[in-house]
Amino acid sequence: MSSVLAATNTRVAHRICPFCEACCGLELTIENEKVISVRGHDADVFSKGYICPKGVAIKNLHDDPDRLRVPLIKRDGKFVEASWDEAFAEIERRLPPLVATGGGDAVAMTFGNPAAHKIGLLLYGGRVAKALKTRNVFSASTLDQMPKQLSSGLMFGAWLSIPVPDIERCDLLIVLGANPVASNGSLWTVPDFRGKAKALKARGGRMVVIDPRRSETAEMANAHHTIRPGGDVFLLLGMVHTLFAEKLVTLGTVGEHIAGFSELESTINVAQFSAESVAGRCGIAPEVIRQLARDMAGTKRAALYSRIGTCTQEFGTTGSWLVDVVNTLTGHLDSPGGVMFPKPAAFAVNTQAGKPGTIGVGKGVVVGRHRSRVSNAPEVYGELPIGCLAEEIQTPGVGQVRALITIASNPVLSSPNGQRLTEALEQLDFMVSLDIYLNETTRHADVILPGRSPLEDPHFDVAFPQFSFRNHARYSPPVFEPTPGQPAEWEILLRLEAIVTGRGAQVDLEAFEDERFAADLERQIGSAADAVQLALATVPLRRGPDRLIDLALRGGPYGDQFGRKADGISLNKVQAAADGIDLGELMPRIPEMLRTPSGKVELAPPILMADLARAAAKLLQPAPDLVIVGRRQIRSNNSWMHNLPILSKGPFRCTALVHPLDAAKRGIADGARAKVSANSRSIEVQVEVSDEMMQGVVSLPHGWGHDVPGTGQRIASERPGANLNALFDENWRDPLSGNSVLSGVPIELTAIAP
Ligand SMILES: Nc1nc2c(c(=O)[nH]1)N[C@H]1C(S)=C(S)[C@@H](COP(=O)(O)OP(=O)(O)OC[C@H]3O[C@@H](n4cnc5c(=O)[nH]c(N)nc54)[C@H](O)[C@@H]3O)O[C@H]1N2
Ligand SMILES: Nc1nc2c(c(=O)[nH]1)N[C@H]1C(S)=C(S)[C@@H](COP(=O)(O)OP(=O)(O)OC[C@H]3O[C@@H](n4cnc5c(=O)[nH]c(N)nc54)[C@H](O)[C@@H]3O)O[C@H]1N2
Ligand code: SF4
Ligand SMILES: [Mo]
């Protein structure tokens, strides 16, 4: 909500930051309809004034002259500006014929990271894929969190049922393969992680970080252990083995809700997985492995948390599972100060009815309902591995991908082997990008449809309250009126849905939306006429995302149940609370939140148990000499914020951190350029010699490499950096989740003569 300051042309507005998972409340001062400053919103019930430099850069994004504001159509190889009608007409002319000849599978879709942060993209993007009935759906999830989503789904029954550390009550936090001081947390919405970790230490608690690099988080921890990249699954097996072997297991309050305990014990409590056996492969001494297990078991309130470093490995799913096995076996699952399940106000599967007439029982998670055509990779949550996209375009045959719709995604930089993908995109018959920049990926499009600035859209977080350190509900109204004539992203997507369903680009959007809403209503509250009537009568006359949010809030766990519960919440109430509504600390939720068919926590899901044999075989393989890993930086966000002045000033960030001994061995000086090679491809990098690194490991951030022609990000292309993913193998992935291996990839590093 905005309030009027002294000068009548100055106002203050609040907006949830859309850039990372911390979801901080921003406070913008606006003068003459221009943002003049951005700070943290102190009274925000959730983020309490925290902000990072990226949040400040929302001002730059809004003003960026390179941000697209009108559609572009490629004519004779060159982009020209077009009207919205022309753009949709072009799509209608070219897309449906490809569906008519090749079927829905002929059209692939990719969803990128901002699709989780823009309400219109999140609530309406999937509908286009459904309408197409294409199995060729890809997203950044298979470069990211799919392993954790899968392991959690198998254990707890729903795709976003991921327990998060209860940091404000925890006395031991072990952070594995994550750097929340730089990333601000992931699958864990925790604004001001640094402040919360400091508070943990101040009350006598400990933080331990396990990372091949002495990261910003390791720097402030009580202890840091280096780990050989890719070794997480082995470390975790050693910890679980210790818990069994030393009889340290305590299941705590969830004990009666656990299935699979004895299978797990008999499989892991074997000499092969002892701390001694796994130590070499993970590069951590057996005594340290055992001590980590003892500390988890011996601390009343403790949590083990892992993220991107642990996920982007070939055992990403099995490792992510073992993290929660450790939490469970030490009595910290669903326990205050341990790892707990948030209870979001809207949109969570685990707050919606499971199997009728039961508590905590659901359909569970099934994978592999279909497979990719070329590599036979199993579908997970309706997606195929993004590493398979290029081959699906380039391999002829029935079901070949001939067209692509990208939604806020830049896979040419963010996924492995962007060169191959670049070639593949050029071979498409048609490509549409819903994106705000002309970049490495969208330059291949035939039509680019730009979404609005986040400051012109309302916002409500759909996903992140499901991972939040505290329960809350917040809503941001649009800060500015949209540019006249520019549709919202949900309207763009509805129109695409109309085109692919044969309703046509000229569809009456309001009527079409009403029709789609009626279907949502039935899905959410059933088809009983009186229930639908009640909901319809009480959901005010809103449109688009607002209407869906209201429906979800009112029918949700804190909701007013469409008037039946007077003190319950609705969108009206959340909108009226300018600082948000605090819904309290995390509370134990087992068994009510479970959605497994057994109604139990599945401690030993068969596909994960089976994967242990693969891990055991890998234990015997020798370690590569030198490997590369990624890192995140506070002033950079994946591939797409390098064009914003506030973030791009200062020292060059795309540097390769190399341990002094590794550099000396190769005759590479600090600041020199060097060649990094893998998979018969190479990139040139600027080296920063650093004792932050473990010997044998190089660290380079991803999302750089803005030196390809035909893009429109002028600042980014001045200091393009090198594309880490150019080195990687698009077919190397965790076979269970389909997630690409982006960490611990063997490389060669050689000096370049000055
Ligand atoms: N080597 C390596 N690779 C990685 C990772 C790693 O750690 N190492 N991390 C991976 C992870 S975790 C992720 S999430 C992926 C990200 O992968 P992507 O999502 O493909 O990459 P982003 O850089 O986030 O690109 C976002 C795209 O959305 C566009 N965009 C931004 N805002 C908006 C908007 O409001 N509307 C629309 N329509 N478009 C918008 C941008 O212009 C850009 O094209 O990268 C992955 N790649
Ligand atoms: N500033 C900023 N914030 C971001 C982003 C950004 O680009 N910039 N991206 C956002 C996105 S999309 C995501 S998914 C999150 C990710 O958030 P995080 O998971 O916290 O990601 P990183 O900061 O890359 O931290 C990964 C850590 O894992 C370590 N590591 C690498 N390989 C291994 C390994 O094999 N084992 C172990 N144990 N550690 C390893 C790396 O050295 C690094 O310190 O961040 C989000 N927040
Ligand atoms: S940490 Fe920074 S980028 Fe992330 S939500 Fe907060 S202000 Fe935005
Ligand atoms: Mo991500």
Which percentage of the chain shows pLDDT scores above 90?
Answer: 92
According to DSSP, the β-strands at 447-449 and 673-678 are unpaired
Selection from 337, 343, 309, 344 nearest residue 323 by Cα: 309
Per-residue pLDDT tens over the stretch 408-462: 999 999 999 999 999 999 999 999 999 999 999 999 999 999 999 999 999 999 9
b/e map of 298-335 (b: 16 or more CB within 10 Å)?
ebebbbbbbbbbbbbbbbbbbbbbbbbbbbbbbbbbbb
Ligand 3 near 40 CB (within 6 A) = no
Ligand 1 near 630 CB (within 6 A) = yes
Helix, strand, coil abundance in the chain, percent, nearest 5: 40, 20, 45
Ligand 3 near 182 CB (within 6 A) = no
Q: Which two tokens stand for residue 658?
A: 């190399």
In ligand 1, which atom is closest to the CA atom of 453?
35
Mutate to test the pocket of ligand 2, among 186, 304, 415 (most ligand atoms within 8 A of CB): 186
Segment 376-392 shows an average pLDDT of: 98
Longest dimension (CA), the chain: 78
Ligand 1 near 113 CB (within 6 A) = yes
Q: Give distance in angstroms: CA of 407 to centre of ligand 4.
A: 15
* 560 close to 566: Cβ distance less than 8 angstroms: yes
Ligand 1 near 703 CB (within 6 A) = yes
pLDDT at residue number 562: 87
Which percentage of the chain shows pLDDT scores above 70?
Answer: 98
Residue 678, C-beta contacts closer than 8 angstroms, at least 6 positions apart: 628, 727, 728, 729, 745, 746, 747, 748
Q: Which two tokens stand for residue 743?
A: 């960490």
pLDDT at residue number 563: 86
Partnered with residue 174 across adjacent β-strands are: 208, 304
pLDDT band at 538 (very low <50, low <70, confident <90, very high): low
Per-residue pLDDT tens over the stretch 494-521: 999 999 999 999 999 999 998 898 888 8
SS3 for 736?
coil
If residue 627 lies in a helix (H) or strand (E), which one and from where to where? Answer: strand 627-629
pLDDT at residue number 754: 78
Q: Give distance in angstroms: CA of 22 to centre of ligand 3.
A: 6
Ligand 1 near 711 CB (within 6 A) = no
Task: For tokens 């809503």, name the residue.
Answer: 475
From CA 297, how far away is CA 248, in angstroms rounded? 6
Ligand 3 near 24 CB (within 6 A) = yes
pLDDT at residue number 7: 52
Per-residue pLDDT tens over the stretch 18-27: 999 999 999 9
Range of weakest confidence among 44-53, 178-187, 304-313, 551-560: 551-560
In ligand 3, which atom is closest to the CA atom of 23?
5
Domains and CATH numbers, the chain: 1-56 (2.20.25.90), 146-356+590-617 (3.40.228.10), 624-751 (2.40.40.20)
CA atoms within 13 A on the CB side of 320: 32
pLDDT at residue number 6: 52
pLDDT band at 1 (very low <50, low <70, confident <90, very high): very low
Per-residue pLDDT tens over the stretch 127-177: 999 999 999 999 999 999 999 999 999 999 999 999 999 999 999 999 999
- Residues lining ligand 4 (ion), CB within 5 A? 144
Residue 375, C-beta contacts closer than 8 angstroms, at least 6 positions apart: 385, 388, 391, 731
Per-residue pLDDT tens over the stretch 111-123: 999 999 999 999 9
Segment 332-338 shows an average pLDDT of: 98
From CA 30, how far away is CA 5, in angstroms rounded? 10
Per-residue pLDDT tens over the stretch 703-733: 999 999 999 999 999 999 999 999 999 999 9
- Could you say which ligand is closest to the alpha carbon of residue 712? 1
Residue 196, C-beta contacts closer than 8 angstroms, at least 6 positions apart: 167, 168, 190, 469
Q: Which residues line ligand 2 (CB under 6 A)?
A: 20-21, 113, 144, 176-180, 182-184, 186, 210-213, 215, 227, 229-230, 232, 307-310, 313, 629-634, 636-638, 699, 743-744
**Mean pLDDT of the residues in the chain:** 96
pLDDT at residue number 2: 47
- Could you say which ligand is closest to the alpha carbon of residue 741? 1
From CA 109, how far away is CA 203, in angstroms rounded? 48
